[in-house]
Amino acid sequence: MNTKLKHSKFKNTGVLFELLVRQIASDTLNEKNSIGLSIIKKHFKQGSELSKELKMYQYLVKENFDNTYKASEFLNIILVERKKLNETNLKKEKYNLIKSINEKFDAKDFFKYRVNNYKSLATIYKLFENQENTYPKEWVECKNQILENITKTKKPIKEENTDLYSKESKDVRLLAYKFLVDKFNDKYKELTSEQKLVLRNYINNIDNSGNLKRFILRESKKLKNEFSKFKITDKVSSIKLKEVIGLIDNLSNAKIVSEVQALGLLRYYQLLNELKGVQ
């Protein structure tokens, strides 16, 4: 038979959670009260089958081991624990979660975005939702893919390397995960209006490189103009300021539009704000 293990992003707990997080990020930057946050609190509350399954997804995405044996043992433990979940309650909770999403959001818009680690989450779903004797070959391939992911050496990301980012998916580059997922509760109250605008445009145009490119070009010109207004008598500081103005051109001249340029704008606006504060 050619039929393969099926995946549904509409029923994938990991995917649904990541989409809700992205929605929260977008709402926060647009200064809206996020419905997504209330949905997460309601449906992923501690002790629910959904929250238990979500942890398993996250373990298999985030954990890392230095050899295949440890990774294999870990994966087997997760699969055993997954079988212990109450399937009836899990299906009911997942049905109610999807119902809430469909009631509160336009499903077409909500599900149009890809999510971080989508392929890994899809592979995990296939293992969770099927039995190993259904399609043995693909089952083994799915397990092997996860093992490769959790034994892969994770290299630190260098923000200056645009070539590295160009090889990643758009959602890996999604600034929401860097700026909002980990600490979005308090951190963003201190952003200036210009920095919020940068984040908002980056997230809203993550799938539209043309719009993002035009925005970065416009903001770069604005920054250069603002920095040029400063009259600094100190020779060393004046040279440094000219260097900063020159470096801003790198943002608009980059061939590949990625989070590197967005981060650059944020930092230049931070510097601009600090310079205004000491004048």
Q: What is the pLDDT of residue 51?
A: 93
Q: Is residue 161 part of a domain?
A: no
- Kindly state whether residues 180 and 141 are assigned to the same domain: no
Last residue of a domain, one of 151, 183, 217: 151
- Kindly state whether residues 136 and 182 are assigned to the same domain: no
- Kindly state whether residues 18 and 146 are assigned to the same domain: yes
How would you write the pLDDT of the chain (279 residues) with one tens digit per residue?
A: 445 788 888 999 999 998 988 887 777 666 677 788 889 989 999 899 999 999 999 999 989 999 999 999 999 999 999 999 999 999 999 999 999 999 999 888 888 776 778 999 999 999 999 887 778 888 899 999 999 999 976 544 333 333 433 444 444 344 444 444 343 334 445 667 887 788 777 766 765 677 888 888 899 889 888 888 877 777 777 777 788 888 888 877 777 766 677 778 878 888 888 777 655
- Kindly state whether residues 176 and 146 are assigned to the same domain: no
- Kindly state whether residues 22 and 134 are assigned to the same domain: yes
Q: Is residue 145 part of a domain?
A: yes
- Kindly state whether residues 127 and 253 are assigned to the same domain: no
- Kindly state whether residues 122 and 19 are assigned to the same domain: yes
Last residue of a domain, one of 151, 179, 202: 151
- Kindly state whether residues 36 and 74 are assigned to the same domain: yes
Long-range contacts of range 59-66, CB-CB < 8 Å, 24 or more positions apart? 60/120, 60/124, 60/146, 60/149, 60/150, 61/14, 61/117, 61/120, 61/121, 61/124, 61/149, 63/150, 64/150, 64/151, 64/152, 64/154, 65/150, 65/151, 66/151
Q: What is the pLDDT of residue 206?
A: 63
Q: Are residues 111 and 105 in contact, defined by beta-carbon separation less than 8 angstroms?
A: no
Q: Is residue 164 part of a domain?
A: no
- Quote the domain boundaries for residue 125: 13-151
Q: Is residue 159 part of a domain?
A: no
Q: Is residue 251 part of a domain?
A: yes
Q: Is residue 182 part of a domain?
A: yes
- Kindly state whether residues 272 and 190 are assigned to the same domain: yes
Q: Is residue 6 part of a domain?
A: no
- Kindly state whether residues 129 and 91 are assigned to the same domain: yes
Count how many domains the chain has. 2
Tell me the pTM.
0.61
